Amino acid sequence: MTLDRSVVAAGALALTLALPLPTQAAADPETKVKEKGGTKVVIDKSKPVRKAIEAWYALNTAAFEAKDADAIMALRTDDFHTLTPDGRTNTRADMDARTRTFLERIERWISQEFVIGTIELDGDLASADVNQRTVRMQRFPDGSTHKVESAVVQRETWRQTAEGFKLYRVDNIRDGELLVDDEPYSRP
């Protein structure tokens, strides 16, 4: 009799351990099920918007690395614009021209780093503060080449389109830093 009870107990224990707990998602590790007030709430932990923005940044970084202004601008909406700290608005056309001039002066990239903060959603828009730091060898207007390191924090807003997220607006630009040959630099 003792052996039969042990077999039954072991079988019951194995069955109990095999069943998912009520707060676990049975098949998908990227979802979490919680109970609130007797109601089950399923939470998507896969972060699809963050993954999409990170994929956008991979494309944007590759386009800058390739010095491909057309690819860079294709990642922006038709109504893309920036709002500068002095209150000016730069249009998509302004930024297209500025990007092309900037890329012509880059001899080579040393690094491009971006840290995306908390993403806030509002309809088809996603916004986040982004910390950027780039290091490059850049030709100055006088023809000399210098190591340039720039850093900035800015709010970026992307719009969800049929082609995926595209950059719509840049604003709240702050905490800028510019080093030339490892020395602080201020524009004349």
- The mean pLDDT value for 62-85 works out to 98
How far is the C-alpha of 74 from the C-alpha of 163, rounded, in Å? Answer: 10
pLDDT tens for residues 112-143?
A: 999 999 999 999 999 999 999 999 999 999 99
Pairing of strands 76-83, 106-116: unpaired
pLDDT tens for residues 142-187?
A: 999 999 999 999 999 999 999 999 999 999 999 999 999 999 997 7
- CA 139, 142, 148, 152 dihedral sign is negative
Q: What DSSP string runs through 104-124?
A: HHEEEEEEEEEEE---EEETT
Length of the chain: 188
How far is the C-alpha of 152 from the C-alpha of 172, rounded, in Å? Answer: 10
Q: What's the predicted TM-score (pTM) here?
A: 0.77
What end-to-end distance do the CA atoms of the chain give, in Å?
94
From the list 77, 158, 89, 173, the residue with the least C-alpha distance to 125 is 158
Mean pLDDT of the chain: 86
How far is the C-alpha of 181 from the C-alpha of 128, rounded, in Å? Answer: 31
Provide CB contacts within 8 A for 37, sequence distance 6+: none
**Facing residues of 154 across strands?**
130
